[in-house]
């Protein structure tokens, strides 16, 4: 692949991510404006799609982490691995959607919602999309439970210290940010949010893959 092609693919991927985040912001607008949930939705629906230092993060996930994971506590290891799994799957799906976008002679302009929905539907891979949703919901529930266990506050510091010793601080930062993002959210609002995400994303998948209708945009 030439440098021009790589640059074009990078631009297309960035546009796919931007359009996806825009959809999340419209679907869950109430939560993006509610002080209690802003950090949570920004992290799980935006930050992980625009992960700072993604190349370095991926290198650690694929290389260094595999060498040291046996030395980490089970909870820390499990939380890291679900984030790595989500990041890898999402990156794969976004990259392939970007390639399809280029094949459609994309002119570099921002995708409309209709254009993004059409691209999403044309790309397909229903089972992988269902898996992606399953991991997102699992991560949300896991980190919420972790953040609201009283002992967790005392375990974060030694876990952070160990991550530094093992050379995976960048990965652990993602775990800590997820922990902090869900910490302010009350149980009632979290349950309502999870139910809405599961319902709305399932509807989006169903409309894209089962009956041919365009995914809905109406707010909850």
| pLDDT 10s digits, 20-32 | 999 999 999 999 9
What pLDDT, on the 0 to 100 scale, is given for residue 61?
A: 67
Distance of CA 88 to the CA centre of its chain: 10
Q: What is the pTM of this model?
A: 0.80
What pLDDT, on the 0 to 100 scale, is given for residue 27?
A: 95
Q: What is the pLDDT of residues 47-98, one digit of tens each?
A: 877 766 566 666 666 677 777 777 677 777 787 788 888 888 988 999 999 9
Percent share of the chain, pLDDT over 90: 50
d(CA 109, CA 57): 29
What pLDDT, on the 0 to 100 scale, is given for residue 102?
A: 95
Q: Collect the ranges in the chain with pLDDT lower than 50.
A: 212-220
Contacts with 132 (C-beta within 8 Å, 6 or more apart), sequence order: 86, 89, 90, 93
d(CA 92, CA 3): 20
User: How far is the CA of 175 from the CAs of 127, 172, 205, in angstroms?
Assistant: 26, 5, 28
Task: Please answer whether residues 143 and 179 qualify as being in contact, where contact means their C-beta atoms are separated by less than 8 angstroms.
Answer: yes
């Amino acid at each position: 692949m030439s440098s021009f092609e790589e640059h074009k693919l990078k631009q297309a991927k960035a546009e796919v991510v931007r359009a996806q985040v825009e959809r999340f912001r419209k679907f869950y607008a109430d939560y993006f404006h509610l002080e209690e949930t802003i950090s949570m939705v920004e992290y799980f629906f935006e930050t992980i799609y625009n992960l700072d230092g993604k190349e370095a993060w991926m290198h650690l996930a694929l290389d260094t982490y595999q060498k040291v994971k046996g030395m980490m506590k089970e909870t820390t290891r499990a939380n890291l691995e679900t984030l790595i799994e989500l990041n890898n799957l999402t990156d794969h799906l976004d990259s392939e959607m970007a390639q399809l976008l280029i094949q459609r002679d994309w002119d570099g302009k921002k995708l409309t919602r209709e254009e993004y929905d059409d691209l999403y539907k044309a790309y397909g891979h229903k089972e992988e999309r269902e898996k992606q949703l399953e991991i997102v919901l699992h991560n949300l529930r896991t980190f919420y439970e972790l953040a609201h266990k009283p002992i967790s506050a005392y375990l974060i510091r030694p876990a952070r210290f160990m991550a530094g010793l093992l050379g995976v601080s960048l990965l652990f930062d993602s775990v800590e940010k997820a922990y902090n993002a869900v910490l302010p959210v009350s149980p009632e609002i979290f349950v309502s949010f999870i139910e809405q995400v599961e319902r709305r994303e399932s509807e989006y998948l169903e409309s894209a893959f089962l009956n041919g209708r365009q995914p809905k945009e109406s707010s909850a």
